[in-house]
Amino acid sequence: MRRFSGPFSKAGPVKSRDVGIVFRKELLDLLRDRRSILATIVFPIALFPLLMFGSSRIQQVGERNLSLEVLAVSVEDATHQLEARLRSDTSLVVRAVDDPRAAIARREIFGAVVVNEPIPGPGEDPVRVTILMDDTAERSEVASNRLREHVETWQSELQAARIESIGATGGLVRAVEWESINLASEARMAGDSLGRFMPILLLFLLMNPASVAATDLFSGEKERKTIETLLTSKADRRSIVMGKFLTVILVAVLSTLLFLASSLFFSRVGAVPDDALMATLSLSVPSLLVVILVSIPLAIFLSAILVLVAAQAKSYKEAQTLLLPIMLAALLPAAASLLPGIRIDSIVALVPIANTALAMREALVGNFPVIPLALVILSNALYAGFVLMQAVSYIESEESILGERPPAPGDDTAGAAKEATLFGLATLLLFYYVGVRLQAADLLSGLLVSLWGIILGAAILFAAVKKLPAREAFALRAPRPLALAGAVLLAMPTLFAAHGLFALQSLFVPVPEQLFEAMEQMMDLGNGSLPLLVFAIAVSPGICEEAFFRGLVLGRYREARMPAWKAIFFSALLFGLFHLSIYRILPTATMGAVAGWLTWRTRSIFPAMLFHTLYNGTLVLGETYDFPGESLPTSPVWIASLVAAAVLGALAIASNGCESRSRA
């Protein structure tokens, strides 16, 4: 038997034979379901021609009607040459009116041409020809275009005759000849408009059958009460899950491929009515290959999300209620590809879903930027692997199978961690929607309200609602002097470490100028008052943010018996997210991790508060007095003293932690 071991395997290898048995059965089962067939095969094939036929029909009907209509115009022509031309045009009918302007306003006629003088002789000023039209009426626009064409041909015929009469060729009289050329090839323009629209279609076509399948294969197993039987067979859970998961992915990929193939076929064969778009649309094979290449990891990623959600539902109905918002939410980032001006670069390439949408858009206009495309595929594969791992481990857990909760030890505490994280994210939203707006209105008061009101307020509210004693919730324990000394020693080295990381990061990810401007704006906060500046930027964050992230969140994580590294990592990540800038996550999370470690070891919030205040304070002072804090240290003495401070500080904290543990 051929075996392969999953990368995250704990419970032993996946057995390809069992995976195959489950896969074949699920496929057969799905192919007998009318809904699945519709979503997976019929709809993707029919969508492209339907869309094209529908949209071109609507457009054509409108255009054809006007282009066939005979439109009334009037003409005053002293030369009588133009009038003769117009009368011979069957698409125009010439009416005699007294006042052409009034007639146009009354919509009796749709255009008028006025030539007041006879044709001038050579050397005289050219004759003035006026075309009257009403821009707000579509018919008037069409009529004036027809009039203009006549005027232009008349004028060039007159010109040619004159040139001939003086015996010169065109090149001698005409100094400039112009014509505008649209550099975008028609195929490229068609591709661009399709490229904008296509990612959303593709995502929908990928998720629609996948959600039908995920519901049937996972929630359905519970609704039909077949899951116990399945799980008491010899095949192990991991293989069963993989078999089902492969079916969902196959369905998602199949639907996408069928849509692309149908698009290619119908556009090549020209079986759809030829209008401007269809005549020029050329879906090239390389474009489609790239689209497929970026879609597959995304298909796995989205399928894993859908499966993870569907597995939590106990019935079809519940699954549908859960899946619909997920699908809509997933379409949102794809809508980014509709926005003009957003292009794919190395950062955007890491944003799930949006990256794929943009990559598809590039590919459909014939651009293949190699590095972003590779990043898209790679990051999607990573996300897919991560979610898949989550999905598999959830499905393997007992609660997923029988709707029962896992055994007691650590259970309510795991809930506490989840709760704290959700609370943190909810506060982040509040901070984002309210705090940021306040700060935009007035930076100083907005910042103070955000810190003391939103962040500290939310933390206190949470502790009050959960009836947590303040001392426990915020780690309000008197620290040992050594711990405070450690916090002081660590502030500067951490600042430089974070700064160094930021500098390192900006080598790969260029930081936009606006970020620096925003930072400098911060430093002008105190209106010249240094104490106010220090209070707003150093003391307030030191107290409020520490109470929130290291006091409450980290404290709940500890309560949940999370391992130290995990608790510190996630609380630091949350802290980084609060800075609302992708560029600042790394440096701020680094600082947050050190503060987290301080609190974890000393079980007191005060060293972290001191540390944070000093850290921010150094930044403020550095900015104000051109103190070293702005640039990285270069002198060996500086570096040596920073390293020494870091080592001493770390030792002080580490030893403090040991003591407090031995005391406890």
Partner 1 sequence: MSSMISADTLVKRYHDPARGDLLAVDHVSFECREGEIFGLLGPNGAGKTTTLRMLATLLKPTSGTAVLNGYDVVRESEKVRASIGYLSGDTGLYGRLTPLETLRYFARLNHFPEGRLEERVMSLVREFEIERFADVRCEKLSTGMKQKVSIARAVVHDPAILIFDEPTSGLDILVADTLLTYIERCRDLDKCVVFSTHVMSEAERLCDRIAVIYEGRILAVGSLEELRSLTGERYLEKIFRSLLESGSREIA
Residues at the interface with partner 1 (CB under 8 A): 18, 21-22, 25, 28-29, 32-33, 224-226, 228-236, 398, 401-402, 404-408, 411-412, 415
Q: How far is the CB of 18 from partner 1 (least distance, A)?
A: 7
Tokens (6 digits) for 621:
């002072």
Given strand 129-132, what is the order of strands in its sheet? 92-94, 71-77, 111-115, 129-132
Distance CA 348, CA 332 (A): 15
**CB neighbours (10 Å) of residue 34?**
8
Tokens (6 digits) for 118:
């006879």
Our CB check for partner 1 shows the closer of 1 and 429 to be: 1
Amino acid in position 432: Y
Q: How far is the CB of 31 from partner 1 (least distance, A)?
A: 9
Our CB check for partner 1 shows the closer of 225 and 471 to be: 225
Our CB check for partner 1 shows the closer of 53 and 316 to be: 316
Q: How far is the CB of 225 from partner 1 (least distance, A)?
A: 4
| Burial environment of residue 388 by CB neighbours within 10 A (0 to 12, 13 to 18, 19 or more) | buried
Our CB check for partner 1 shows the closer of 338 and 401 to be: 401
| 15 membership: H or E segment, kind and range | strand 14-15
Complete DSSP assignment for 28-60 = HHHHT-HHHHIIIIIHHHHHHHHHHHHHHHHHH
β partners of residue 77:
115
Token pair 């030369």: residue: 79
Complete DSSP assignment for 514-548 = HHHHHHHHHHTTTTT-HHHHHIIIIIHHHHHHIII
Token pair 């990051």: residue: 379
Q: How far is the CB of 235 from partner 1 (least distance, A)?
A: 5
Our CB check for partner 1 shows the closer of 92 and 416 to be: 416
Q: How far is the CB of 207 from partner 1 (least distance, A)?
A: 23
Our CB check for partner 1 shows the closer of 164 and 411 to be: 411
Our CB check for partner 1 shows the closer of 313 and 547 to be: 313
Residue from 374, 366, 356, 388 nearest 256 by CA: 356
Tokens (6 digits) for 363:
């590919």
Our CB check for partner 1 shows the closer of 135 and 404 to be: 404
Q: How far is the CB of 317 from partner 1 (least distance, A)?
A: 16
**CB neighbours (10 Å) of residue 632?**
13
Report whether 90 contacts 150 (CB < 8 A): no
Q: How far is the CB of 539 from partner 1 (least distance, A)?
A: 40
Our CB check for partner 1 shows the closer of 28 and 42 to be: 28
For 332, what's the count of Cα atoms within 13 Å in the CB-facing half-sphere?
A: 8
Q: Can you tell me whether residue 114 is helix, strand or coil? A: strand
Our CB check for partner 1 shows the closer of 289 and 402 to be: 402
For helices 585-602 and 564-577, angle between their N-to-C axes, nearest 10 degrees: 140
Q: How far is the CB of 61 from partner 1 (least distance, A)?
A: 44
Q: How far is the CB of 303 from partner 1 (least distance, A)?
A: 21
Our CB check for partner 1 shows the closer of 398 and 630 to be: 398
Q: How far is the CB of 228 from partner 1 (least distance, A)?
A: 6
**CB neighbours (10 Å) of residue 444?**
17
Q: How far is the CB of 295 from partner 1 (least distance, A)?
A: 28
Q: How far is the CB of 236 from partner 1 (least distance, A)?
A: 6
Neighbour-count burial for 42-77, b at 16+ CB within 10 Å, e otherwise? ebbbebbbeebbeebeeeeeeeeeeeeeebbbbbeb
Our CB check for partner 1 shows the closer of 235 and 449 to be: 235
With vertex at residue 561, the alpha carbon angle to CA 559 and CA 563, rounded to the nearest 5 degrees, is 130
**CB neighbours (10 Å) of residue 176?**
4
Distance CA 373, CA 425 (A): 31
- Rounded to 5 degrees, what are φ and ψ at 181? -120, 125
Q: How far is the CB of 341 from partner 1 (least distance, A)?
A: 49
For helices 585-602 and 636-663, angle between their N-to-C axes, nearest 10 degrees: 40
Report whether 353 contacts 329 (CB < 8 A): no
Token pair 């009354």: residue: 106
Q: How far is the CB of 232 from partner 1 (least distance, A)?
A: 4
Our CB check for partner 1 shows the closer of 33 and 275 to be: 33
Our CB check for partner 1 shows the closer of 275 and 396 to be: 396
Distance CA 264, CA 275 (A): 17
